[in-house]
Every structure is written in structure tokens, then in C-alpha cells.
């Protein structure tokens, strides 16, 4: 067994308990001894409980590698998404799946249902499964499968990384490309080989760190409008991420590295509504594209079209309203509206959501973050979107 595979359960909890009892857990920890050796123990990491080394990206990718078929699927689907965004493929990009993955078995079950439907709809829809392993929170809350795979605050990130890869391999094995949100700046080294479309979320869209990251990612990236509805920051992101950058990152051996990137010309907007209400109406789409065209090359993905997220601020996180948004978008697409390259839906096996709880107390196939559309309703809505594309063609 590799040293990174040994877990030290409970260390962080023991440290938390020590703090509550008025003791300083740093005194006994390994890194404090190192810091004392170099004479800085009194002044650095005074609020860090533990630095527990993770496996390197190379170790994780070696443990769960993509086989040739999976690699081919990632490559061809990235190219297909690019073609849809550039208007060379008249299908509709549909990013659909749970708000977050907490139960690998339910996620793979969902993937098989979606894959079956995909075989009937893939001449009109380019289906990409949402597999979100990292959740950005408004304040605090469960941060996703990678951060806390046991959903109990034990934060076993090593386990989370390996589990996330197993889920990714299974979804690709079912024949579906995968979409995810990139949140932690170093985590893409562990999973991005399996990803065909990436998002930078509303809470990070103005972050230089995430724009730099997007500039080096190998797939199209959607920047969401900010939570207050600002579209300008997301357009700035598309512009910034298209440029080359040099920044702090890690290499495949996990070593801190100066990362130099080429720039990513495949970034585009995702309209997700805001705390002030939806922004998926005809006029909002027109204005967003007009603004993008002022700042970005006319031929770029971001100037040609955008993705509409039917969830979040566009539905007030209500799955019934989310379904209505998809119905409205279908009607507009069928009527020939241009500029909508794709849509995003939050959907799981069971509709709605349940409060976060230990895994053995959760209902199967239901979200523990945002409310999702049920599988049967999702299947109906996907058929409606496919029909809309057919009508748009004719
Ligand atoms: O998509 C998920 C949530 O909307 C996002 O993570 C924010 O969630 P929160 O406001 O419940 O923290
Ligand atoms: C967090 C998400 O979205 P947003 O960034 O739009 O809130 C999400 O899609 O899971």
C-alpha cells in the first residue's frame, strides 16, 4: 500500500475537540515540529490544524486511468461541444444531472438511464451529464463528494478524490460525456482528463484564480453570471481566460509549479438568473449576446451563443418552475430563436431535495443540495427539447 493510501481517521476531529477544551493541538502536530525546527513555529500556521498530504495527481490517475474508449469519448465530445457552441452543429447542448453527487451508486444509476435516452435523442441533443463533485456555498454547508465523501464532516479528501474518479469512469463507461464545476484551483489535475465541459460558478466568476485556471483547461468552459446578475464580469472572464497566463499551480507530481497556459478560446456565458430574478427571457439573452459581441471576437464561442441554466436564479431553485423554464425555452427554440446554444437542468432520480444527513439515513436518488427535477419529468423535458430542435431545423 502506498503511504498516501493510509488514512488517519479522526485527527482533525481530535484537534477540534482539543481547541474546544482550551488546549493547543498544534503543539503535538508534525508540521509544528518542522516549523519549530526552522524557527518560525510561533508565527506561522497558527490557525492550521493539519496538513495531511494527498496522493499526487499521477498516483490518482494511475489508480483509475481512462481507457482508450473513455479517452476517445472525452476527445470527441469536447469537439462536438465546441462545434455546437460555434454553430457548426445544430444540436442543442444539454447539461443535465444532479445538483451534486453524494451517492456514487445513484449517480451511476442515473447515468445509465440518461445513456438509454441518449441513444434516442442524440441526433438532436448533445447530452452531457452534470457530475458536480465540488460545491461552492453561499456561506457554509456540505462542500461535495471530493471534500467530504462520507457526508459527516470527516472530510476524507483522499477517499473523495478516488470515489469521484470511479464515478467519472462509470459515467464515461455508460457512454456519456461529463460536465463539472471547477472550484478548487488544484483539483482539476485529479479529474479534468475525464471532463468535456466545465463551469466556473456564479460565486467565482470574477475570480482571477478561476479565470487563470480556465485559460489552461482543455475543454470549453462556461462562466456563469454573478449571483447579483452582473453579466459584465462573466464576459470579462471569457476575455481574460482566452489570454495566456502564468500562475501558481501543481504539476502531476503534486509539486507547486509555475503554470504557463495558452489561453482558452472556448469560454462562453451561462445565464443562471440572480438574486433579483430570472435572466433567461428573450430580451436578456439578446442583451447578454450584444454585450459579449462588443468585448469578444465575433467568431468566438461566447459571441455566437450562450447556455441557459434553468435552475438557480432562473427558477428560484424550485424544480416545478425549472421544468416550466425548460418548456418555455423549448417553445422559443422551436420558434427559431437563435443564440441559445445549450441549456442546463438539475435533475436526479427522485425530485426535490432532502436535508443533508449521514449516508445511511438518506433517501436513495434524491439531492442533498438544490432541488432537482425527477427522472420521469426529466425524460419528458428532454424529449420536448429534442422535438424543439427538430422544429427549429424544419
Ligand atoms: O448549486 C448549488 C447551490 O446553489 C450552491 O452550491 C449554493 O448553495 P447554498 O446557497 O445552499 O450554499
Ligand atoms: C453552484 C451552481 O451554480 P451557480 O454557480 O450558478 O450558483 C451549480 O450549478 O451547482
pLDDT digit string (tens) for 115-149?
Answer: 999 999 999 999 999 999 999 999 999 999 999 99
Q: What is the pLDDT of residues 169-227, one digit of tens each?
A: 999 999 999 999 999 999 999 999 999 999 999 999 999 999 999 999 999 999 999 99
With a cut of 70, say whether residue 313 has pLDDT above it: yes
pTM for the structure as a whole: 0.94
Ligand 2 near 130 CB (within 6 A) = no
| Secondary structure tally for the chain: helices H, strands E | 13, 10
With a cut of 50, say whether residue 377 has pLDDT above it: yes
β-pairing verdict for 306-313 and 340-346 = parallel
Measured CA to CA, the distance from residue 118 to residue 110 in angstroms comes to 12
Q: For 57-393, which CATH class?
A: alpha beta
The whole-number pLDDT of residue 7 equals 43
**Is the Cβ–Cβ distance between 96 and 159 less than 8 Å?**
no
The whole-number pLDDT of residue 10 equals 62
99 Cα nearest atom in ligand 2: 10
The whole-number pLDDT of residue 40 equals 85
201 Cα nearest atom in ligand 2: 5
Confidence of residue 3 (pLDDT cuts 50, 70, 90): very low
Ligand 2 near 312 CB (within 6 A) = yes
Ligand 2 near 99 CB (within 6 A) = yes
Measured CA to CA, the distance from residue 4 to residue 158 in angstroms comes to 8
> How far away, in angstroms, is 224 Cα from ligand 2 center?
8
The whole-number pLDDT of residue 22 equals 67
The whole-number pLDDT of residue 36 equals 80
Ligand 1 near 140 CB (within 6 A) = no
Closest C-alpha among 224, 238, 226 to residue 293: 238
Burial class (CB in 10 A: 0-12, 13-18, 19+), 258: exposed
Phi and psi torsions of 16, nearest 5° = -60, -45
ipTM over 0.90: yes
With a cut of 90, say whether residue 38 has pLDDT above it: no
Closest C-alpha among 196, 188, 78 to residue 129: 196
The whole-number pLDDT of residue 6 equals 43
The whole-number pLDDT of residue 311 equals 98
Choose which residue among 98, 132, 141 to substitute to test ligand 1 binding: the one with the highest number of ligand atoms within 8 A of its C-beta. Answer: 141
In sequence order, the β-bridge partners of residue 103 are none
Instruction: Retrieve residue 217's grid coordinates.
Output: 483547461
Q: For residue 386, count other CB atoms closer than 10 A to its CB.
A: 21
What is the DSSP annotation of 179-225?
Answer: EEE--STTTHHHHGGG-SEEEE-TTTTT-HHHHHHHHH-SS-EEEEP
With a cut of 60, say whether residue 9 has pLDDT above it: no
With a cut of 50, say whether residue 99 has pLDDT above it: yes
> How far away, in angstroms, is 287 Cα from ligand 1 center?
26
To which residue does cell 494511475 refer?
Answer: 62
Of the chain, the percentage scoring pLDDT greater than 70 comes to 92
The whole-number pLDDT of residue 39 equals 85
135 Cα nearest atom in ligand 2: 1
Residues 6+ apart with CB under 8 A from 390: 124
Ligand 1 near 124 CB (within 6 A) = no
The whole-number pLDDT of residue 29 equals 60
With a cut of 90, say whether residue 264 has pLDDT above it: yes
Mean pLDDT value of segment 249-259: 98
- Return mean pLDDT, the chain: 94
Mean pLDDT value of segment 81-87: 98
Choose which residue among 312, 353, 367 to substitute to test ligand 2 binding: the one with the highest number of ligand atoms within 8 A of its C-beta. Answer: 312
Per DSSP, 356 falls in state -
Burial class (CB in 10 A: 0-12, 13-18, 19+), 349: buried
**Is the Cβ–Cβ distance between 303 and 280 less than 8 Å?**
no
Mean pLDDT value of segment 270-295: 98
Confidence of residue 27 (pLDDT cuts 50, 70, 90): low
β-pairing verdict for 92-97 and 125-130 = parallel
Ligand 2 near 161 CB (within 6 A) = no
Q: Of the ligands numbered here, which is closest to the C-alpha atom of 133?
A: 2
Instruction: Retrieve residue 308's grid coordinates.
Output: 441557459
Confidence of residue 370 (pLDDT cuts 50, 70, 90): very high
The whole-number pLDDT of residue 50 equals 85
Q: Where are the domains of the chain?
A: 1-53, 57-393
Q: Of the ligands numbered here, which is closest to the C-alpha atom of 369?
A: 1
Taking the chain, what is the end-to-end CA distance rounded to the nearest angstrom? 60
Amino acid at each position: 500500500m502506498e503511504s498516501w493510501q493510509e488514512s488517519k481517521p479522526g485527527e482533525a476531529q481530535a484537534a477540534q475537540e482539543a481547541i474546544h477544551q482550551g488546549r493547543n493541538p498544534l503543539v503535538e502536530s508534525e508540521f509544528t515540529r518542522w516549523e519549530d525546527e526552522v524557527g518560525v513555529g510561533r508565527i506561522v500556521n497558527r490557525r492550521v490544524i493539519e496538513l495531511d498530504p494527498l496522493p499526487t495527481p499521477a498516483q490518482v490517475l494511475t489508480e483509475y486511468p481512462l481507457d482508450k474508449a473513455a479517452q476517445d469519448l472525452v476527445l470527441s465530445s469536447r469537439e462536438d461541444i465546441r462545434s455546437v457552441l460555434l454553430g457548426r452543429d445544430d444540436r442543442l447542448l444539454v447539461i443535465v444531472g444532479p445538483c451534486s453527487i453524494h451517492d456514487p451508486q445513484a449517480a451511476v444509476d442515473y447515468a445509465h438511464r440518461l445513456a438509454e435516452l441518449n441513444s434516442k435523442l442524440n441526433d438532436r441533443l448533445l447530452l452531457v451529464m452534470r457530475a458536480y463533485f465540488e460545491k461552492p456555498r453561499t456561506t457554509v454547508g456540505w462542500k461535495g463528494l471530493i471534500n467530504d465523501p462520507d457526508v459527516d464532516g470527516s472530510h476524507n479528501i483522499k477517499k473523495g478524490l478516488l470515489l469521484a474518479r470511479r464515478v467519472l469512469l462509470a459515467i464515461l463507461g455508460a457512454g456519456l460525456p461529463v460536465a463539472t464545476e471547477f472550484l478548487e484551483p488544484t483539483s482539476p489535475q485529479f479529474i479534468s482528463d475525464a471532463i468535456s465541459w466545465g463551469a466556473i460558478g456564479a460565486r467565482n466568476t470574477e475570480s482571477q484564480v478561476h479565470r487563470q485556471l480556465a485559460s489552461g483547461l482543455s475543454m470549453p468552459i462556461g462562466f456563469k453570471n454573478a449571483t447579483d446578475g452582473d453579466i459584465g464580469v462573466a464576459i470579462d472572464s471569457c476575455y481574460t481566460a482566452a489570454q495566456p497566463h502564468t500562475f501558481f499551480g501543481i504539476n502531476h507530481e503534486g509539486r507547486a509549479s509555475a503554470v504557463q497556459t495558452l489561453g482558452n478560446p472556448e469560454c462562453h456565458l451561462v445565464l443562471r438568473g440572480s438574486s433579483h430574478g430570472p435572466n433567461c427571457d428573450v430580451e436578456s439573452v439578446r442583451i447578454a449576446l450584444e454585450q459579449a459581441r462588443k468585448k469578444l471576437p465575433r467568431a468566438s464561442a461566447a459571441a455566437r451563443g450562450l447556455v441557459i441554466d434553468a435552475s438557480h436564479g432562473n427558477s428560484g431553485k424550485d424544480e416545478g418552475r425549472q421544468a416550466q423554464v425548460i418548456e418555455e425555452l423549448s417553445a422559443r427554440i422551436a420558434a427559431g430563436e437563435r443564440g441559445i446554444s445549450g441549456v442546463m437542468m438539475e435533475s436526479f432520480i427522485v425530485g426535490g431535495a432532502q436535508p443533508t444527513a449521514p449516508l445511511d439515513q438518506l433517501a436513495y436518488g434524491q439531492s442533498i443540495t438544490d432541488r432537482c427535477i425527477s427522472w420521469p419529468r426529466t425524460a419528458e423535458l428532454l424529449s420536448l427539447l429534442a422535438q424543439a430542435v427538430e422544429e427549429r431545423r424544419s
